[in-house]
């Protein structure tokens, strides 16, 4: 799939990777617990029927605590503005310095189905039902209880 790009095109680190790296187009300083919107300088024209999902880079999250506030960010096919990333420093002690050209996020392009939502009075029953958070196990973790 060929996608028109203005700016430095996202690049895949390895053949077969799903996420293409997005680079910072501006420097940023993130003190502990702070967030900042950082531009990538990239504008793209995604094909109709696809969406771009902007996700954190796992290595940055693990090594320095850098993540994305609204992960995944959604880039609709009709959007033509700059892709920006709302980064957050989750490290409680260290400031994160981001330089121009640093890889700060990944873009995953996937097909989607545009749903047609239909109001109804009731939903059909399923085996799962309305079970949500913790309903299939692990509820000790959600409540903070020890194992």
Q: What is the pLDDT of residue 136?
A: 72
Q: What is the pLDDT of residue 47?
A: 94
- 55 within some domain: yes
State how far the Cα of 64 lies from the Cα of 103, in Å rounded to an integer. 13
Quick check: 68 and 86 in contact, CB under 8 A? yes
Residue 40 exposed, middle or buried by CB count within 10 Å (0-12, 13-18, 19+): buried
- 146 within some domain: no
Mean pLDDT over 3-27 rounds to: 93
Going by pLDDT thresholds of 50, 70 and 90, the confidence category of residue 83 is very high
In this predicted structure, the answer to whether residue 141 has a pLDDT above a threshold of 70 is no
CATH code (residue 72) = 2.70.40.10
Mean pLDDT over 79-83 rounds to: 95
Q: What pTM does this model have?
A: 0.83
Q: What tens digit of pLDDT does each residue of 92-108 get?
A: 999 999 999 999 999 99
Q: What is the pLDDT of residue 146?
A: 52
When divided into structural domains, the chain yields a total of: 1
- 43 within some domain: yes
Quick check: 45 and 3 in contact, CB under 8 A? yes
Q: Which domain holds residue 76?
A: 19-110
Q: What is the pLDDT of residue 147?
A: 47
Q: What is the pLDDT of residue 81?
A: 94
In this predicted structure, the answer to whether residue 25 has a pLDDT above a threshold of 60 is yes
- 53 within some domain: yes
| Mean confidence (pLDDT) of the chain | 90
Cα–Cα distance list, 131 to 3, 49, 138, 144 (Å): 41, 32, 13, 19
Quick check: 54 and 76 in contact, CB under 8 A? no
């Amino acid at each position: 799939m060929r996608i028109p790009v203005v700016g430095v095109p996202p690049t895949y680190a390895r053949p077969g990777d799903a996420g293409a790296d997005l680079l910072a187009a501006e420097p940023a300083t993130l003190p502990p617990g702070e967030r900042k919107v950082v531009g990538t300088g990239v504008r793209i024209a995604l094909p109709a029927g696809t969406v771009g999902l902007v996700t954190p880079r796992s290595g940055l999250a693990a090594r320095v605590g850098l993540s994305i506030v609204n992960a995944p960010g959604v880039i609709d096919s009709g959007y033509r503005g700059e892709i920006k990333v709302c980064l957050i420093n989750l490290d409680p002690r260290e400031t994160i310095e981001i330089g121009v050209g640093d890889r700060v996020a990944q873009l995953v392009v996937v097909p989607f189905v545009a749903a047609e939502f239909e109001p109804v009075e009731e939903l059909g029953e399923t085996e799962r039902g309305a079970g949500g958070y913790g309903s299939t196990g692990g509820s000790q973790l959600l409540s903070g209880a020890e194992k």
